[in-house]
Amino acid sequence: MERILVIGANGQIGNELVDALVAQHGADNVIAADIGPRSLFGARRYEPVDVLDSNAVAHCIENYGVTQVYQLAALLSVTGEQVPLKAWTLNMNGLLNILEIARERGQSGKPLRVFWPSSIAAFGPHTPAVDTPQLAVMDPTTIYGISKQAGERLCEYYFSKFGVDVRSIRYPGIISYKSPPGGGTTDYAIAIFHAAQRGETYPCYLGPETTLPMIYMPDAIRATIELMDAPAERVRIRSAYNVAGLSFNPRELAQKIKQYLPQFGISYEPDSRQTIADSWPHSLDDTYARADWGWHARIGLEQLVLDMLANIKAPRCELHQAA
Protein backbone atom coordinates (compact mmCIF):
# COMPACT_ATOMS: atom_id res chain seq x y z
CA MET A 1 0.00 0.00 0.00
CA GLU A 2 1.31 3.44 -0.95
CA ARG A 3 1.10 6.53 1.24
CA ILE A 4 1.46 9.63 -0.90
CA LEU A 5 2.40 13.19 0.02
CA VAL A 6 1.69 15.95 -2.53
CA ILE A 7 3.59 19.15 -1.73
CA GLY A 8 2.26 22.19 -3.58
CA ALA A 9 -1.23 20.65 -3.59
CA ASN A 10 -2.99 23.99 -3.99
CA GLY A 11 -1.32 24.67 -7.33
CA GLN A 12 -2.51 24.05 -10.87
CA ILE A 13 -1.12 20.49 -11.12
CA GLY A 14 -1.35 19.61 -7.41
CA ASN A 15 -5.04 20.26 -7.21
CA GLU A 16 -5.92 17.81 -9.96
CA LEU A 17 -3.19 15.32 -9.11
CA VAL A 18 -4.55 14.95 -5.58
CA ASP A 19 -7.99 14.05 -6.96
CA ALA A 20 -6.49 11.48 -9.34
CA LEU A 21 -4.34 9.92 -6.60
CA VAL A 22 -7.31 9.80 -4.20
CA ALA A 23 -9.31 7.97 -6.90
CA GLN A 24 -6.45 5.49 -7.30
CA HIS A 25 -5.27 4.99 -3.70
CA GLY A 26 -8.15 6.15 -1.50
CA ALA A 27 -8.57 9.38 0.46
CA ASP A 28 -6.81 8.01 3.56
CA ASN A 29 -3.61 7.39 1.64
CA VAL A 30 -3.10 10.81 0.08
CA ILE A 31 -1.85 13.75 2.12
CA ALA A 32 -2.15 17.15 0.50
CA ALA A 33 0.34 19.77 1.69
CA ASP A 34 0.92 23.42 0.90
CA ILE A 35 1.85 26.63 2.64
CA GLY A 36 -1.53 28.24 2.08
CA PRO A 37 -4.87 27.35 3.62
CA ARG A 38 -6.56 24.21 2.43
CA SER A 39 -7.91 24.48 -1.10
CA LEU A 40 -10.82 22.53 -2.61
CA PHE A 41 -9.84 18.97 -3.48
CA GLY A 42 -10.73 15.44 -2.58
CA ALA A 43 -8.00 14.70 -0.04
CA ARG A 44 -9.20 14.07 3.46
CA ARG A 45 -5.82 14.90 4.93
CA TYR A 46 -4.21 18.29 4.65
CA GLU A 47 -0.93 19.45 6.19
CA PRO A 48 0.24 23.07 6.17
CA VAL A 49 3.87 22.42 5.29
CA ASP A 50 6.56 24.64 3.79
CA VAL A 51 8.88 22.57 1.59
CA LEU A 52 11.74 24.85 2.69
CA ASP A 53 11.24 23.63 6.26
CA SER A 54 13.06 20.33 5.93
CA ASN A 55 12.33 19.19 9.49
CA ALA A 56 8.59 19.76 9.10
CA VAL A 57 8.55 17.83 5.82
CA ALA A 58 10.60 14.96 7.30
CA HIS A 59 8.28 14.86 10.30
CA CYS A 60 5.20 14.70 8.07
CA ILE A 61 6.74 11.90 5.99
CA GLU A 62 7.64 9.90 9.10
CA ASN A 63 4.27 10.50 10.80
CA TYR A 64 2.20 9.30 7.88
CA GLY A 65 4.60 6.56 6.77
CA VAL A 66 4.85 8.22 3.37
CA THR A 67 6.23 6.06 0.50
CA GLN A 68 5.90 8.56 -2.39
CA VAL A 69 6.39 12.31 -2.53
CA TYR A 70 5.34 14.63 -5.33
CA GLN A 71 7.30 17.88 -4.81
CA LEU A 72 5.40 20.42 -6.93
CA ALA A 73 6.00 23.68 -5.03
CA ALA A 74 7.75 26.12 -7.38
CA LEU A 75 7.73 29.58 -8.92
CA LEU A 76 7.22 29.52 -12.72
CA SER A 77 8.95 31.35 -15.55
CA VAL A 78 7.27 34.77 -15.42
CA THR A 79 7.00 35.12 -11.64
CA GLY A 80 10.54 33.81 -11.32
CA GLU A 81 11.90 36.69 -13.40
CA GLN A 82 10.30 39.14 -10.96
CA VAL A 83 11.90 37.53 -7.89
CA PRO A 84 14.87 35.50 -9.17
CA LEU A 85 16.49 34.77 -5.79
CA LYS A 86 13.23 33.67 -4.27
CA ALA A 87 12.55 31.45 -7.28
CA TRP A 88 16.01 29.89 -7.09
CA THR A 89 15.72 29.29 -3.35
CA LEU A 90 12.29 27.70 -3.53
CA ASN A 91 12.89 25.68 -6.67
CA MET A 92 16.33 24.36 -5.70
CA ASN A 93 16.15 24.03 -1.93
CA GLY A 94 12.67 22.55 -2.11
CA LEU A 95 13.94 19.77 -4.35
CA LEU A 96 17.17 19.33 -2.42
CA ASN A 97 15.29 18.96 0.88
CA ILE A 98 13.17 16.15 -0.56
CA LEU A 99 16.13 14.40 -2.18
CA GLU A 100 18.05 14.53 1.11
CA ILE A 101 15.10 13.13 3.06
CA ALA A 102 14.77 10.37 0.45
CA ARG A 103 18.49 9.60 0.69
CA GLU A 104 18.35 9.37 4.49
CA ARG A 105 15.21 7.24 4.48
CA GLY A 106 16.71 4.94 1.85
CA GLN A 107 19.71 4.38 4.13
CA SER A 108 17.43 3.40 7.01
CA GLY A 109 15.43 0.95 4.91
CA LYS A 110 12.41 3.19 4.31
CA PRO A 111 12.64 3.99 0.58
CA LEU A 112 10.84 7.03 -0.73
CA ARG A 113 9.90 7.39 -4.40
CA VAL A 114 10.08 11.04 -5.51
CA PHE A 115 8.40 12.93 -8.33
CA TRP A 116 9.64 16.38 -9.25
CA PRO A 117 8.49 18.39 -12.28
CA SER A 118 10.97 19.70 -14.80
CA SER A 119 9.82 21.78 -17.76
CA ILE A 120 10.47 22.71 -21.38
CA ALA A 121 11.97 25.84 -19.76
CA ALA A 122 15.12 23.80 -19.14
CA PHE A 123 15.85 24.19 -22.86
CA GLY A 124 17.19 27.36 -24.44
CA PRO A 125 17.85 29.27 -27.65
CA HIS A 126 20.53 26.83 -28.87
CA THR A 127 18.36 23.76 -28.33
CA PRO A 128 17.02 22.30 -31.61
CA ALA A 129 13.49 23.73 -31.54
CA VAL A 130 11.61 21.20 -33.65
CA ASP A 131 11.18 17.69 -32.25
CA THR A 132 13.62 18.58 -29.48
CA PRO A 133 15.42 15.34 -28.61
CA GLN A 134 15.67 13.93 -25.09
CA LEU A 135 19.40 14.63 -25.05
CA ALA A 136 20.06 18.09 -26.44
CA VAL A 137 21.92 21.33 -25.81
CA MET A 138 20.31 23.01 -22.79
CA ASP A 139 21.03 26.70 -22.26
CA PRO A 140 18.00 28.07 -20.36
CA THR A 141 17.73 31.85 -20.08
CA THR A 142 15.25 32.24 -17.19
CA ILE A 143 15.97 31.61 -13.52
CA TYR A 144 13.09 29.12 -13.61
CA GLY A 145 14.67 27.27 -16.53
CA ILE A 146 18.10 27.33 -14.89
CA SER A 147 16.59 25.86 -11.71
CA LYS A 148 14.93 23.14 -13.78
CA GLN A 149 18.15 22.26 -15.57
CA ALA A 150 20.11 22.20 -12.29
CA GLY A 151 17.28 20.21 -10.69
CA GLU A 152 17.52 17.60 -13.43
CA ARG A 153 21.23 17.21 -12.71
CA LEU A 154 20.48 16.85 -8.99
CA CYS A 155 17.88 14.16 -9.66
CA GLU A 156 20.29 12.17 -11.79
CA TYR A 157 23.03 12.62 -9.19
CA TYR A 158 20.88 11.43 -6.27
CA PHE A 159 19.80 8.41 -8.32
CA SER A 160 23.25 7.33 -9.47
CA LYS A 161 25.12 8.22 -6.27
CA PHE A 162 22.58 7.28 -3.59
CA GLY A 163 19.98 5.14 -5.40
CA VAL A 164 17.13 7.58 -4.75
CA ASP A 165 14.19 6.52 -6.92
CA VAL A 166 13.45 9.95 -8.38
CA ARG A 167 11.39 10.47 -11.54
CA SER A 168 10.61 13.56 -13.56
CA ILE A 169 8.90 14.94 -16.64
CA ARG A 170 9.73 18.04 -18.68
CA TYR A 171 6.20 19.39 -18.70
CA PRO A 172 5.06 21.36 -21.72
CA GLY A 173 2.62 24.22 -21.03
CA ILE A 174 -0.27 22.64 -19.13
CA ILE A 175 -3.79 23.69 -20.09
CA SER A 176 -6.58 23.26 -17.57
CA TYR A 177 -9.76 24.88 -16.28
CA LYS A 178 -10.13 23.69 -12.67
CA SER A 179 -7.56 25.93 -11.04
CA PRO A 180 -5.66 28.88 -12.46
CA PRO A 181 -2.02 28.55 -13.46
CA GLY A 182 0.42 30.79 -11.63
CA GLY A 183 2.80 33.02 -13.51
CA GLY A 184 3.88 31.01 -16.54
CA THR A 185 4.69 32.00 -20.13
CA THR A 186 2.27 29.42 -21.54
CA ASP A 187 -0.69 30.77 -19.51
CA TYR A 188 -2.07 32.64 -22.55
CA ALA A 189 -3.48 29.31 -23.73
CA ILE A 190 -5.76 29.28 -20.68
CA ALA A 191 -6.54 32.99 -20.40
CA ILE A 192 -7.70 33.01 -24.02
CA PHE A 193 -10.62 30.69 -23.17
CA HIS A 194 -11.81 32.89 -20.31
CA ALA A 195 -11.70 35.97 -22.55
CA ALA A 196 -13.52 34.09 -25.31
CA GLN A 197 -16.29 33.02 -22.96
CA ARG A 198 -16.65 36.58 -21.63
CA GLY A 199 -17.15 37.75 -25.19
CA GLU A 200 -13.94 39.81 -25.09
CA THR A 201 -11.17 40.25 -27.62
CA TYR A 202 -8.10 38.58 -26.15
CA PRO A 203 -4.92 40.72 -26.10
CA CYS A 204 -2.32 37.99 -26.59
CA TYR A 205 1.12 38.73 -25.14
CA LEU A 206 2.75 36.32 -27.63
CA GLY A 207 2.91 36.80 -31.39
CA PRO A 208 0.59 34.74 -33.65
CA GLU A 209 3.27 32.31 -34.87
CA THR A 210 4.77 31.44 -31.45
CA THR A 211 4.47 27.67 -31.48
CA LEU A 212 4.99 25.95 -28.12
CA PRO A 213 4.60 22.41 -26.79
CA MET A 214 1.43 22.08 -24.71
CA ILE A 215 -0.48 19.31 -22.97
CA TYR A 216 -4.04 19.06 -21.68
CA MET A 217 -4.28 18.43 -17.95
CA PRO A 218 -5.81 14.93 -18.09
CA ASP A 219 -2.89 13.81 -20.28
CA ALA A 220 -0.39 15.55 -17.95
CA ILE A 221 -1.85 13.83 -14.88
CA ARG A 222 -1.88 10.47 -16.64
CA ALA A 223 1.76 10.89 -17.72
CA THR A 224 2.78 11.75 -14.17
CA ILE A 225 1.04 8.77 -12.58
CA GLU A 226 2.12 6.36 -15.32
CA LEU A 227 5.74 7.36 -14.81
CA MET A 228 5.44 7.00 -11.02
CA ASP A 229 3.78 3.57 -11.39
CA ALA A 230 6.36 2.24 -13.88
CA PRO A 231 8.69 -0.50 -12.59
CA ALA A 232 12.01 1.09 -11.55
CA GLU A 233 13.99 -0.87 -14.14
CA ARG A 234 11.90 0.70 -16.94
CA VAL A 235 12.83 4.23 -15.87
CA ARG A 236 16.10 4.73 -17.74
CA ILE A 237 16.06 8.52 -17.65
CA ARG A 238 16.65 9.90 -14.18
CA SER A 239 16.97 13.55 -15.17
CA ALA A 240 13.54 14.21 -16.73
CA TYR A 241 11.58 12.74 -19.65
CA ASN A 242 10.43 14.69 -22.69
CA VAL A 243 6.67 14.17 -22.87
CA ALA A 244 4.82 15.51 -25.91
CA GLY A 245 1.16 16.44 -25.91
CA LEU A 246 0.42 18.73 -28.84
CA SER A 247 1.93 21.88 -30.35
CA PHE A 248 0.16 24.98 -31.59
CA ASN A 249 0.54 28.75 -31.78
CA PRO A 250 -1.87 31.55 -30.71
CA ARG A 251 -3.18 31.99 -34.27
CA GLU A 252 -4.07 28.31 -34.59
CA LEU A 253 -5.67 28.22 -31.14
CA ALA A 254 -7.71 31.36 -31.83
CA GLN A 255 -8.84 29.91 -35.16
CA LYS A 256 -10.04 26.74 -33.47
CA ILE A 257 -11.91 28.72 -30.80
CA LYS A 258 -13.53 30.82 -33.55
CA GLN A 259 -14.98 27.67 -35.07
CA TYR A 260 -17.15 27.39 -31.97
CA LEU A 261 -17.43 31.07 -31.00
CA PRO A 262 -17.44 32.89 -34.37
CA GLN A 263 -17.52 36.32 -32.70
CA PHE A 264 -14.25 35.69 -30.83
CA GLY A 265 -11.40 38.08 -31.61
CA ILE A 266 -7.70 38.20 -30.73
CA SER A 267 -5.11 40.98 -30.92
CA TYR A 268 -1.35 40.54 -30.63
CA GLU A 269 0.63 42.64 -28.16
CA PRO A 270 3.90 40.79 -27.53
CA ASP A 271 5.73 41.76 -24.32
CA SER A 272 8.73 40.41 -22.40
CA ARG A 273 7.16 36.95 -22.31
CA GLN A 274 7.79 36.72 -26.06
CA THR A 275 11.54 36.52 -25.43
CA ILE A 276 11.03 33.64 -23.02
CA ALA A 277 8.74 31.78 -25.43
CA ASP A 278 11.19 32.32 -28.30
CA SER A 279 13.88 30.48 -26.34
CA TRP A 280 11.73 27.37 -25.86
CA PRO A 281 11.14 24.41 -28.21
CA HIS A 282 8.25 24.25 -30.67
CA SER A 283 7.74 20.52 -30.29
CA LEU A 284 9.25 17.60 -28.38
CA ASP A 285 10.51 14.17 -29.34
CA ASP A 286 9.27 11.84 -26.60
CA THR A 287 10.67 8.58 -27.98
CA TYR A 288 12.24 7.65 -24.61
CA ALA A 289 9.00 8.07 -22.65
CA ARG A 290 7.16 5.99 -25.25
CA ALA A 291 9.75 3.24 -25.26
CA ASP A 292 10.41 3.11 -21.52
CA TRP A 293 6.98 3.36 -19.94
CA GLY A 294 4.53 3.31 -22.84
CA TRP A 295 3.62 7.01 -22.93
CA HIS A 296 1.40 8.38 -25.66
CA ALA A 297 -0.74 11.51 -25.62
CA ARG A 298 -4.45 11.07 -26.23
CA ILE A 299 -5.85 14.59 -26.41
CA GLY A 300 -5.51 16.76 -29.52
CA LEU A 301 -6.47 20.37 -30.22
CA GLU A 302 -10.09 19.72 -31.18
CA GLN A 303 -10.92 17.83 -27.99
CA LEU A 304 -8.97 20.27 -25.83
CA VAL A 305 -10.82 23.30 -27.18
CA LEU A 306 -14.23 21.69 -26.91
CA ASP A 307 -13.56 20.55 -23.35
CA MET A 308 -12.18 23.92 -22.23
CA LEU A 309 -15.13 25.80 -23.71
CA ALA A 310 -17.59 23.38 -22.16
CA ASN A 311 -16.05 23.70 -18.71
CA ILE A 312 -15.35 27.42 -18.61
CA LYS A 313 -18.88 28.58 -18.31
CA ALA A 314 -20.16 30.93 -21.00
CA PRO A 315 -22.03 33.89 -19.52
CA ARG A 316 -23.32 35.18 -22.85
CA CYS A 317 -22.05 33.05 -25.71
CA GLU A 318 -23.62 29.89 -27.05
CA LEU A 319 -21.28 27.24 -28.40
CA HIS A 320 -21.49 27.17 -32.18
CA GLN A 321 -21.37 23.71 -33.74
CA ALA A 322 -18.25 23.65 -35.95
CA ALA A 323 -18.68 22.21 -39.46
CA-closest candidate to residue 301, choices 272, 259, 269: 259
Active-site option among 46, 64, 70, 144: 144
Nearer to ligand AKB, 1 or 85 (CB): 85
How many secondary structure helices (H) and strands (E) does the chain include? 12, 12
CB of 123 within 8 A of CB of 280?
A: yes
C-beta of 122: minimal distance to ligand AKB in Å?
A: 9
Helix (H) or strand (E) holding 301: helix 301-311
Nearer to ligand AKB, 98 or 220 (CB): 220
Burial of 321 (0-12, 13-18, 19+ CB in 10 A): exposed
Which residues are at the interface with ligand AKB (CB under 6 A)? 76-77, 119-121, 144, 171, 173, 184-186
Nearer to ligand AKB, 13 or 57 (CB): 13
C-beta of 44: minimal distance to ligand AKB in Å?
A: 29
Return left, alpha or beta for 4; rule: phi > 0 is left, psi -120 to 50 is alpha, else beta: beta
* DSSP label at residue 318: P
C-beta of 123: minimal distance to ligand AKB in Å?
A: 10
Nearer to ligand AKB, 70 or 144 (CB): 144
C-beta of 165: minimal distance to ligand AKB in Å?
A: 23
Active site (annotated) includes residue 144? yes
Q: What angle do CA 44, 220, 281 make, to 5 degrees?
A: 145
| Three-class SS state of 170 | strand
CA-closest candidate to residue 31, choices 59, 58, 1, 64: 64
Nearer to ligand AKB, 96 or 120 (CB): 120
CB of 50 within 8 A of CB of 98?
A: no
The span from the CA of 251 to the CA of 279, in Å, is 19
C-beta of 244: minimal distance to ligand AKB in Å?
A: 13
C-beta of 148: minimal distance to ligand AKB in Å?
A: 7
Helices 188-197, 250-260: axis angle to 10 degrees equals 30
C-beta of 48: minimal distance to ligand AKB in Å?
A: 25
Q: What is the dihedral sign for C-alpha 8, 13, 15, 20?
A: negative
Nearer to ligand AKB, 30 or 95 (CB): 95
Per-residue three-class SS string for 190-251: HHHHHHHHCCCCEEECCCCCCCEEEEEHHHHHHHHHHHHHCCHHHCCCCCCEECCCEEECHH
Nearer to ligand AKB, 140 or 154 (CB): 140
The residues annotated with a catalytic role in the active site are 144
